[in-house]
Amino acid sequence: MKRDRLWTSGALLALGLVATGCGAPAANGGGQAATAASRAAASSQPVTITFWYGVGTTLSQDIQQMVQEFNRTHPGIKVVATYQGSYSGGGEEQQKLLAAIKAGDPPTLAQIEVHAMPVFAASGQLLDLTQLMQSSSVDKPSNFLPGILVSTQYQGRYYGVPFNRSVPVLYYNKTLFAKAHIASPPSNWTELAADAKKLTSGAGSSKIYGFEPLVDWWPWEYAVESGGGSILSPDLSRATFDQPPALSILETEQSLVKQGYAKVETGPNYWDLMTQDFINGQVAMDIDSIGSAGKVTKGVGDKFQWGTALLPRGKTLAVPPGGGDLVIFKDATPAQQKAAWTFIQWWTAPKQSVKWSTETGYLPVQKADLSDPVYQAYLNKHPQYRTAIEELRYEHPSPASPAYLAALQPVQQALQGIFDEGKPVAATMHEAAQAADQNLG
Amino acid sequence: MAKTAEAVIAKVQPDRRVERRRTSLQLTGVAMMAPALLFLLAFVFAPMGYALYLSLYQSTLYTPQPVFAGFANYARLFSSPDFWQAASNTVWLAAGMMALSLPAALILAVLLNQRIRGRAVFRTAIFGPYVIPLVSSGLIFSLLFATDGGPVNLALQRLGLPPVNWLGQGRTALLSVLILTAWQFTGYYAIIFLAGLQSVPTSLVEACQVDGGGRCQVFRHVTLRALGPSLFFAVVICLIQTFQTFDQVYVMTGGGPDGATTTFAYYIFEKGFQAFNIGESSAASVLLILVLACLSYLQMRVSRRWVVEES
């Protein structure tokens, strides 16, 4: 009996070792064998590249279809595209990329949110595309629409190529404007405030509000820069968004909310809820991404007439970039990098770029896209997109600091404090600037 | 407890054969624990050590080589109002759970300890929420607390009260998270209490009744005393669980508005995976580990004392 027990314990111990510690080297061995095999086969087999992106549902389907089309027409390359959760600030795709970089196993290609470009570029993991772009017939910098490349550079080098780009625009309900006898959308904040008052009517659950600000740091960038302020100091070491000019537009927005002329959506779904308020005709104006235009078109249907306008001016007009760019990771083999570059050039060539834009509502990226007859027809049918293209001229780069995303966290909190809880603008933003300074230092 | 048992055996038969048997018993024990221990080593203790190491470095995604920084990360945490807000939110939640969930669990346990019809059904029902993944219940409660058309607000409107923007205001958002957490865990604590109630000696209850004690007195002087260990266990487990609050916040509020629902664990996540500041995030993790380790130690110490007392 004693023996039995000893034997059993030995067996258990062995089992334990196999299940945990010793399992790892065995798995590694397998992995190495697999890569060696794929390398050996590389000469005859297509080059496989992985592509991580962060736009879901129908957009994901659009990407998958385009990728299929690419794979069909490029027998030497196989792109494996995977949806990795949201690519937006702090989204799952960013987290997975971070983990993959730390683990030394990033994908070949990835979609990077425009504000995250400095973080990833500074990590030293991205392939410098400057040379490739300058010698490309498709992706030469001068081929792109002016303004659209602002987010793709870091310290004077190109690390990204515009992929799914957007800008915030002013949406307005033409039917409500006509009812209030307002001829055209406001072009500055004095007009917007006056219009918002005229457009507000009713009470209780059927109340219609003149305006709705989006409680988000993206339009906040516009508010700071257009008010004549700046987000960070020129050397990017200090937050300057608590200076008076940076607060002027926020003050106007908050006073509209406090006077009952503007509605605010809160909670984790604030963005969707705001878009929905406009679709429901509950607000006459809001500042939303041009990327929401498809949803608004569908949602509004024939209920009312609507349009988009340039964001209202403060002292000036500065439009922040939005959306994502494509990057290539350095870790990839030269063959994979070459394949990835082929894929990027194919995607951004007018034929595909126009298809992608007209399918999704994202901005066209190349000058040639605009003269494309397919895109011309699309613009005639959906004049709302003209505003977004026009706004590109006012595109203003966001601070190119790798610590910028971290600095935006206190900003988002402060905006919630200002709009959700009615905290004073100047004091709240001052606190946020101090917190941001900590993250920048 | 194992120690006591061994001591008893040793006293009765201080014999070589027994000693040999003991070594083999220990060996079996070690072998049985080996898989779990190795697993813990690889996935719990090693990462803990690594976090401790990282917490002493200035490490972000965009500084590929971490730079030694001493206790700078800790100093930054202690001087950050956001950190203290997260800590106080967590303490507030823990206090709320103590005040709301544990008494409710005790009442439920006492009720379900009576001979009532469908007792098994009720017992299963109150335990139900505990087995639902927190992410699912978080989603369900987000819908319940929705400002427009959420059932909670519809009910308020029926009563003639104005709708509340539950998840959009600091105070009510944290309250909503507390309500969900209480709903999720109360059944679990009730089961702990129910188990404790089974061990209340009937002889003492009867003795108290013979002495003329009413129901309340029996509860106060006999039941509650006998429940001591369970109560303490539940308090500590409740603290530990509350300090780890993450899923609900992730799903319901994303830590907002204005950091009002950012808990300790969520703060660590934000710092590390959204602001890419691995050093500071690790420092916060180490602090959380310390708090939890103290709580666990306390729990072990006191429960050991109680077990000895009982035997």
* Partner residues linked to A328 by β-bridges: A109
Q: Contact A6/B24, CB-based, under 8 Å?
A: yes
> Which two tokens mark A274?
């705001």
pLDDT tens-digit series, residues A56-114: 888 899 999 999 999 999 999 999 999 999 898 778 898 899 889 888 899 999 999 99
pLDDT at A43: 52
**Domain membership of residue A139 as a residue range:** 46-166+322-394
pLDDT tens-digit series, residues A41-51: 445 689 999 99
pLDDT tens-digit series, residues A211-256: 999 999 999 999 999 999 999 999 999 999 999 999 999 999 999 9
CATH number (domain holding residue B202): 1.10.3720.10
Q: For residue B52, how many C-alpha atoms fall within 13 Å in the half-sphere facing its CB?
A: 8
B101 occurs within a structural domain? yes
Same domain membership, residue A376 and residue A360: yes
Same domain membership, residue A104 and residue A85: yes
Mean residue pLDDT of chain B comes to: 87
Residue A13 has pLDDT above 60, yes or no: no
CA distance B110 to B205: 14
A211 occurs within a structural domain? yes
> Which two tokens mark B106?
């005790």
pLDDT tens-digit series, residues A388-439: 999 999 999 999 998 898 899 899 999 999 998 899 999 999 999 999 998 8
A20 occurs within a structural domain? no
Same domain membership, residue A191 and residue A300: yes
CATH number (domain holding residue A297): 3.40.190.10
Residue B1 has pLDDT above 80, yes or no: no
Q: Which residues of A touch B259 (CB under 8 A)?
A: 413
> Which two tokens mark B276?
């890419």
pLDDT tens-digit series, residues A270-305: 898 899 999 999 999 999 999 888 889 999 999 999
Same domain membership, residue A429 and residue A373: no
pLDDT at B8: 53
Residue B19 has pLDDT above 80, yes or no: no
How far is CA A374 from each of CA A43, A145, A360, A380, B188, rounded to the nearest angstrom?
A: 39, 17, 14, 10, 62
pLDDT at A284: 97
A22 lies within 8 A of chain B by CB: no
pLDDT at B217: 82
Same domain membership, residue A348 and residue A215: no
> Which two tokens mark A165?
């780009």
Q: Contact A15/B165, CB-based, under 8 Å?
A: no
Q: Which of A209-218, B5-14, B92-101, B182-191 has the lowest mean pLDDT?
A: B5-14
A21 occurs within a structural domain? no
Rg (CA), chain A: 25
B60 occurs within a structural domain? no
Question: In chain B, which among 45-74 make CB contacts under 8 A with chain A?
Answer: 60-64
pLDDT at A88: 85
Overall domain count for chain B: 1
Same domain membership, residue A236 and residue A156: no
Q: Contact B62/A412, CB-based, under 8 Å?
A: no
Judge contact between B183 and B129, C-beta under 8 A. yes
Pairing relation of β-strands A168-173 and A306-309? antiparallel
Return the beta strands (E) in A215-362 as ranges: 285-289, 306-309, 322-328
Overall domain count for chain A: 2
Residue A351 has pLDDT above 90, yes or no: yes
Residue B4 has pLDDT above 80, yes or no: no
Please list, in sequence order, all residues whose beta carbon lies within 8 angstroms of the beta carbon of residue B289, skipping any fewer than 6 positions away: B48, B51
Name the 3-class secondary structure at B33.
helix
Residue B44 has pLDDT above 50, yes or no: yes
**Considering CB atoms only, which of A12, A15, A416 is closest to B257?**
A416
Same domain membership, residue A157 and residue A185: no
B281 lies within 8 A of chain A by CB: no
pLDDT at B306: 63
pLDDT at A421: 86
CA distance B101 to B79: 33
pLDDT tens-digit series, residues B208-234: 888 888 888 888 888 888 888 888 889
pLDDT at B26: 85
Same domain membership, residue A185 and residue A157: no
- What is the percentage of chain A residues whose pLDDT exceeds 70? 90
Nearest Cα neighbor of A394 from A321, A307, A296 is: A321
Residues A14-38, mean pLDDT to the nearest whole number:
41
pLDDT tens-digit series, residues B81-135: 889 999 999 999 999 999 999 999 999 999 998 888 888 899 899 999 999 999 9
Quickly count: other Cβ atoms within 10 Å of residue A75's Cβ: 8
pLDDT at B7: 55
Nearest Cα neighbor of A236 from A80, A407, A392 is: A407
A13 lies within 8 A of chain B by CB: yes
Spell out the long-range contacts of A72-78 with Cβ–Cβ below 8 A and sequence spacing 24 or more: A74/A342, A74/A343, A74/A346, A75/A46, A76/A46, A76/A47, A76/A339, A77/A46, A77/A47, A77/A49, A77/A339, A77/A342, A77/A343, A78/A46, A78/A47, A78/A48, A78/A49
pLDDT at B254: 86
Residue A37 has pLDDT above 60, yes or no: no
Same domain membership, residue A156 and residue A226: no
A55 occurs within a structural domain? yes
Judge contact between A289 and A322, C-beta under 8 A. yes
Question: In chain A, which among 288-347 make CB contacts under 8 A with chain B?
Answer: none
B102 occurs within a structural domain? yes
A257 lies within 8 A of chain B by CB: no
Mean residue pLDDT of chain A comes to: 88
- Is the entire prediction scored with pTM above 0.90? no
B10 occurs within a structural domain? no
Q: Contact A420/B257, CB-based, under 8 Å?
A: yes
B161 occurs within a structural domain? no
pLDDT tens-digit series, residues A147-172: 899 999 999 999 999 999 999 999 99
pLDDT tens-digit series, residues A313-334: 999 999 999 999 999 999 999 9
Q: Contact B61/A431, CB-based, under 8 Å?
A: no
A195 occurs within a structural domain? yes
Q: Regarding predicted confidence, which is higher, A167 or B257?
A: A167
Whether the complex's predicted ipTM is more than 0.90 is answered with no
Same domain membership, residue A285 and residue A199: yes
